[in-house]
Structure 1
Amino acid sequence: MKHATSDDLKSVDQLLEKVRKIQGIVEKQPGHFYHKGKNVLHFHEEHGSLFADIGDERMKVSEFLYREIVKKVEIYISEIKLARDSEKIHRS
């Protein structure tokens, strides 16, 4: 399974626009999103289908799942923040 190209991502432009609006997320290259240096979301293409990798979870992308994908990204970012806060507390 290969990483999605810019051309592959054209079909999910509406999803990408929603993801780009999430606070604290950075798109380092087209379709590769990070939060404070941690990979949060990127896409793969296989046999004409797109897949979103959110953390360790992979899901097939369809327009009907855009809201769910955005929600999962937001939850994953929250988990990253909690883990970092927990590390800070344990170091203190």
Structure 2
Amino acid sequence: MAGNVYEWCADWYDEGYYTNSSYKNPKGPESSPKSRRVLRGGSWDYFTSYTVRSRLVSARYGSDPSDNSNTFGFRCVSNVETHSIY
């Protein structure tokens, strides 16, 4: 799914946060100095200078939550309850 659209995340954006954060499921900083949220992944249509980086699933950017673009999206996730059939 990488390269489809940048995905909005609930985490606040801080450029240096992930260099010192927990490796497993980092929660993001408590706030962002510029009120930006994380956009992860990459987009099919973005600036040439970001082309290689944009293709990485691990790529992270920050943007104001009121920004919109046809290159921004989100992914719905849910826990699934499982039942044994035996």
Q: TM-score, normalised by structure 2?
A: 0.21
Q: Which has the higher contact order (CA 8 A, sep 6+)?
A: 2
More strand by share: 1
Structure showing the higher helix proportion among its residues? 1
Larger CA Rg, structure 1 vs 2: 2
